[in-house]
Structure 1
Amino acid sequence: MKKIILIILVIIFIGVEGCAEKNNSPVSVKISSMPSEAQVYFDQEFKGYTPLNIDATKTKHRLIILKNGYSALKTDINISNKHSFNFTLESIPVEKNIECGRIINTSFPVNQPIFSLDTIFSLDNKFIFADCYYKPERLYIRCIDLNSYDELWRFEIKAESNLDTLDNTRMALIDNLLYVYTYHYSGKAFLPYLYILDTNGKLVLKEKLPFSTHMPDKDVVILVDQNIVTNPNPNKASLNCYSLKEHKVVWQKEIKVGVVVTRIFGNALYAFSINGNFIRIHKINKFTGEILSVKGFPEIRNFQRSEGGLLIAVPLAIVNGRVFFSPDEKNIYCVGLESMEILYKCDTGIYFYSVDVKDNLFFVTGSGKTIAIDVNNGKIEGTYKAEFSGSSIAVVDRKVFIGVAGDKIHCFNINGKEIEFPYSPNMFGGSFVDLEITNNTLIAHAVNRATGEAKDYLYVFDLETNETVFSLEDIGSFHIVKSLLIVIPLTEPEKKIIFIDLGKFSKYQ
C-alpha cells in the first residue's frame, strides 16, 4: 500500500513540475512604439528597434524604449496573458528655443590658473554667449535670463568696414567684468581689439591693442615675441606689457631663454623654458617687468622634442597655485608657483598621452589605463582599465566615468573596480567628446560614426538607476547651470539654442 501511495505522489510531482515548466516557457512578445524605430532594452540588454518581437518568460521584466528627441520610456511589464505592448513616446519637454546665428563656442585649453578663455558663461542665473552673423559681419554678445528666458541685453561688435571680418573671438569673465577679445581682419593684417563689458552689457572700455594675447588678465596684456618658425632653437625672448589702465606699453624686457611658455598667476608672469635639458622658471612682476626670481630644476629633466622639433616646457596643468610638468610622459612633477619648490613627484607607472583635472584629481591616460592622482599630495587614488580622450571623464561620489573611443562609457569605483553601466551607447569607431555630471545626472557628448557619417549626439543618464533619460542628435556642445541643460547647436545658420530643465524629469517611471 505504501509503495502504491509513493508511486502516485511521484506521478503527481512530475506532472506539476512539467506544468510549471510549460507555464514558464518563453513566449513571443511584440513591442511597438509611436514613433517607431526606437531602441528597445529588455532587462538591461539591447534587443533591437521597434516594432520588435522577442522571446520572454511569463514574469516581470524591465523595459526601456529610447529614441533621439524623445523622453525615455521606462516601465516594468508583466507578461502573463498579454503578449503585445504598444507605447507612445513623448517629446523632450523644452523650456525655450532661442534663435541664433553661428554660436562661437571655442574653449582655449591654456590651463589658466584663475581665468579661462571661452565664449559661453553663466553668472547669477544669466547665460552669456557670443553669437556671430554674416553679411555684414557682426558679432553679438547676448545675455539670457535663465528664469524667464528673455533676452536681457545684447552688445553688438561690428567689423571696422564692410570688407573686414571678425575672427578668433574669446571671452574671459574677470571680477564680474566680461573681457571680449576679437580680431578685425582686413585681408592684410589682424587687428586685435578688447571690449570690456559690465554684467548689464554696458561698454566699460574699447581698446585697440598693439598686440594680441592668449592670457586674459584684468590689468595687462603681455606679448611674448619669439620667431620659432625661422629659428626653432632660440636663446632669448622679448616680453612686452601693455597696461589696460595706462593705455600704453609700460615695459619691455628681453630674457635669455629657449622656447618659452608663459602664464599669469596673481601679480606675476611665469615663463617656463628648458635650460640645457631641465626646467627653468622666471618669475616676473607683471606690472613692472622686474625679475623676481629665476630657478632651475635639474630634477625635472630629459624632455623630448616635439613633433615640430621644439624643446618646449608646456605645463600639463596649473591647479590651486601649482604647476605640473612631465618630461617623459610618465613621471609628473608638481611645483608650487609661490614657493618655487618641487612639492612632489609621482611615477604614474604608465606612458600617458592625455591629461585632465576634475574634482581635485589629476587623470592621466595611456597604455590601456587611466590613473587618478590626488592633486594635493601626488598619491595615486585608483587605476582604471579604460582610456579617455579629450575631456571624456567625470567624477561623482567616488565613482569615475570614462568614455572610451570606439567603445562605451565605463564606470568604476574610485579604487578601480568596474561597475556595470548597461545603457551606454557604443560608439562603433566614434568617440566621446565630453562627460559632465550635475545633480546625479551624467551628460555625455559623443560623435558616433555607426552609419559611416559622423554625427554628434547628447546622452543623458540618471545615476541613481544608471538608466538613460533621453538623447539628442545634431548638437554642437552643451552647458550646465544647476539643473538646466543648455544645448548649443552646430555652427550652421538658422539654428536654435535649447533649454531643458533636467529637474522636470522623473527619476523613475
Structure 2
Amino acid sequence: TSPVGFTVSITSKPTGASVFVNDEYEGITPREVSLKKGIYRFIVIKDNYISQRKDVEITENTSLNFELKKPKIKGTLNSISFEELKGGITFNELFISHRGNEIVCISLVTGKELWRKNFDSATNFMLVNDTLYLENQKRAEATETSPRKVIEEIFAVNPYNGEIIMKENIEIIPDEKNTIIQFDGVNEGIAFFKEFVLMFGGIPNKIYLKAYFLKSHKLLYDKKFNSYPVNTPIFGDHLYLFGSSDNHLMIYKVNKFTGDVISQMNFTEIPCCMLNIIPEKLNVSGEKIVLKASNPEALTYVIDLEKQKILFKSKGNFNVQNEQYLITFDEYDSENIVSIEVIDLLSMVRRSLIAYDLTKENKEIYPLLVTFPVYDSQNRRIFTFINDKMFCFNEKGKEMPIPEIFKNSYRYLLSLSPTDRPYIYIDPHSSVTILRRDEGQQRVFVFDSKTFEPIFVTSSAGLIIENSLLLFNVVVKGDPSQNLLDKGVLTIIDLEEFIGK
C-alpha cells in the first residue's frame, strides 16, 4: 500500500457535481482524491439532479462514476407566479389561486393548467360543497335620485372547468337613519353556504351580520352586535363573533341560519385591544380556535368554544402545522432563552417543550436570528435555525446531533450567510423536508429528515403542496444548458421521486 494512499477518481454524468467523502466537501467532478484503505461514503450532488450515494471499500486505486438523473416532472407552466401559488387552495388534487382579476386552476396530478378566467376584480374566493364561490364588492355613492349603496357580485363556479354556474348581484342600501353599517369599516368578510351568503363587517363595537338567500335575494336576517369584525369561525350550524367587554375578550355564539345569539362567553383573564385579535379556526375534533391576544405578554390561547374554557396559553408567536400541531415560539426571552412548545390539538397533549440558551452561540454575530420552528411528526423531531446553523431537538427537548455531511452540504449548497433565515417545509406524509433560501439567490435544498441525507438541490423558490414539490424560476446561473427546464416558470415534481431513493 502506498504511504500516501490510493487514488480514487470520481466522475459524474453530467460533470460539475459536488463531491462529499465521509461528510467532507472534496470539490467538483471530475475529481481525484487520495484515501487510505477503508470504507468510505461518497455522495455526489448537482443542481436539478437527484443525488447519489455509494458506500465503497477502498483497497486499491479506484474509479467511481455517478450517472445522475433528473427527477420525474409532472408538468410545467409558464403562466403562473410564486405569489399566486402561496395564496391558493387545494381540492381533489386541484390547486386554485388568483392574481388580480384572474382565477387559475392547476392539476397536481398532471401539472397542467386546466383553466384560467377573468372575473372582473373578484377579490375573495371560497370552496363550499364542490363549488367555487367568488365575491367582489362595488360601491356606489349617493346621488340626488339614489341613496348610497353597495353591490356584492357573487359568482358560483365549477372548480373542474371554470364554468360559471351562477352570477348574482346583491344590492345593499342603508336605511334612512343610516343604522345599517355601510361596508366602510374594517375586516369585512363573506361566507358562502349551499343556499345563502353571509356577510359581516363594520367598525369596532358596531358590526353588522347579514344573510341573503341566493337567487331570490331575500334578506334572511339583519343583525347588529357590539363586537368586532374579524375572520369569523363557522362550525356546523353556528358561528362565533368576537368582541370586548371592559377590555377583556367576549365571544358570541350565533345561529348562522337565524342570526340569533345562542350564548355569550366572557373570558376575563384575556385582556385585549380588539384591533389585534387574530383567531384561527382549527380543523380538528371539537370547536377549537387559536388566538393571539394583544395583552403586553402577547399570549397565545387555545379556546374550546363548546366547553367555553381556555385549554392552553403560552408566550410568543404561534403557528398551526398540518391542522393538528400548535407550535408556539418565544424568541427573545429576557433570559436569552428560546422557548418552543409543541401541542397536539387533537388530544391537547404537549408533545415537546424546549428551552435553548442563546448565550451558547457566537456572540460576535448579532443579532441572533431564529427561524420559526417546524415539527416533524413522522420522526418526532423539531427543527429550527439560529442564523445559518440548523438545530434539531427530540420531543424531550434534547438537542440531537446533526451529521457533518448535512452541515457541510446545506451550508455549501444553499450558500448561506450568518444573517440568512432559511424556511423549513416538512411533508407530513414522509420524511422529505426542504430548506428554502429567499434572500438573494433563491435556493431549495431537499433532504431526508430521518437520515439527514441530501436528496436534491436547485436554484429556485419552492413549496410542498399535496405531495408535490413546486419549484419556480428553475435556473443554473451561467450555464443555461443545465437548467431543469428549457423554458417556463413553474415545475411540479412528485415527492414520491424522493422517498426511499
Query: Residue 105 of structure 1 aligns to a residue in which SS?
Result: helix
8 Å contact from structure 1 (residues 129, 142) kept in 2: yes
Q: Which residue of 2 aligns with 1:372?
A: 342
Q: Which residue of 2 aligns with 1:43?
A: 22
| 1:119 pairs with one of 56, 73, 88 | 88
Deviation sequence 1:319-374 (CA, Å, 0-9, x none)? 531123454557554322233x115344x4xx423333446331101242311123
The offset of 1:389, in angstroms, is 4.3
Q: Which residue of 2 aligns with 1:92?
A: 71
The offset of 1:377, in angstroms, is 5.3
The offset of 1:403, in angstroms, is 3.8
Instruction: Letter of the 1:177 partner, please give it.
Output: T
Give the alignment of 1:303-452 within 5 angstroms. 303=272, 312-315=276-279, 318-320=282-284, 321-327=287-293, 328=295, 329=297, 332-339=300-307, 341-346=308-313, 348=314, 351-358=315-322, 360-367=324-331, 368-376=338-346, 378-384=348-354, 389=371, 393-404=374-385, 406-422=387-403, 423=406, 425-426=410-411, 427-428=416-417, 429-449=419-439
Counterparts in 2 of 1:143 and 1:222: CA distance versus 1, 3 Å: same
Sequence identity percentage: 20
8 Å contact from structure 1 (residues 315, 324) kept in 2: yes
The offset of 1:177, in angstroms, is 1.7
8 Å contact from structure 2 (residues 425, 463) kept in 1: no
Q: How many residue pairs end up in the alignment?
A: 433
Q: Which residue of 2 aligns with 1:157?
A: 118
Counterparts in 2 of 1:462 and 1:95: CA distance versus 1, 3 Å: same
1:263 maps to 2:233: yes
8 Å contact from structure 2 (residues 200, 207) kept in 1: no
Query: Residue 40 of structure 1 aligns to a residue in which SS?
Result: strand
Instruction: Letter of the 1:416 partner, please give it.
Output: G
Deviation sequence 1:181-218 (CA, Å, 0-9, x none)? 457899xx997643222344332222345569545432
Q: Which residue of 2 aligns with 1:207?
A: 168
8 Å contact from structure 1 (residues 259, 311) kept in 2: no
8 Å contact from structure 1 (residues 184, 191) kept in 2: yes
Give the alignment of 1:133-282 within 5 angstroms. 139-144=102-107, 146=109, 153-154=114-115, 156-159=117-120, 166=121, 168=123, 170-181=124-135, 193-201=153-161, 202-208=163-169, 214-218=189-193, 219-226=196-203, 234-244=204-214, 246-257=216-227, 262-282=232-252
8 Å contact from structure 1 (residues 316, 355) kept in 2: no
Q: Which residue of 2 aligns with 1:465?
A: 451
Deviation sequence 1:102-131 (CA, Å, 0-9, x none)? 465365xxxxxxxxxx524240xx423346
Deviation sequence 1:79-101 (CA, Å, 0-9, x none)? 33326645443333323324424
Normalising by structure 2, we get a TM-score of 0.72
The offset of 1:56, in angstroms, is 3.5
Distance 1:365 1:145 in 2: 33
Distance 1:71 1:266 in 2: 46
The offset of 1:406, in angstroms, is 2.8
Give the alignment of 1:4-153 within 5 angstroms. 31-50=10-29, 54=33, 56-82=35-61, 85-102=64-81, 105=84, 118-123=87-92, 126-130=93-97, 139-144=102-107, 146=109, 153=114
Runs (5+) with no aligned partner, structure 2 = 141-148, 172-182, 332-337, 357-368, 475-486
The offset of 1:318, in angstroms, is 3.5
Query: Residue 503 of structure 1 aligns to a residue in which SS?
Result: helix
Runs (5+) with no aligned partner, structure 1 = 1-21, 108-117, 160-165, 227-233
Distance 2:12 2:265 in 1: 68
Instruction: Letter of the 1:397 partner, please give it.
Output: Q
Distance 1:224 1:338 in 2: 24
Normalising by structure 1, we get a TM-score of 0.71
Q: Which residue of 2 aligns with 1:11?
A: none
Instruction: Letter of the 1:441 partner, please give it.
Output: S
Query: Residue 168 of structure 2 aligns to a residue in which SS?
Result: strand
8 Å contact from structure 1 (residues 215, 263) kept in 2: no
8 Å contact from structure 2 (residues 7, 61) kept in 1: no
Counterparts in 2 of 1:60 and 1:464: CA distance versus 1, 3 Å: same
8 Å contact from structure 2 (residues 447, 453) kept in 1: yes
Instruction: Letter of the 2:117 partner, please give it.
Output: E
8 Å contact from structure 1 (residues 394, 437) kept in 2: no
RMSD between superposed Cα atoms in Å: 3.8
The offset of 1:293, in angstroms, is 1.8
Tell me which structure has the larger Cα radius of gyration: 1
Q: Which residue of 2 aligns with 1:110?
A: none
Mean Cα deviation higher: 407-416 or 283-292: 407-416
Distance 2:157 2:229 in 1: 35
Q: Which residue of 1 aligns with 2:493?
A: 500
Instruction: Letter of the 1:312 partner, please give it.
Output: N
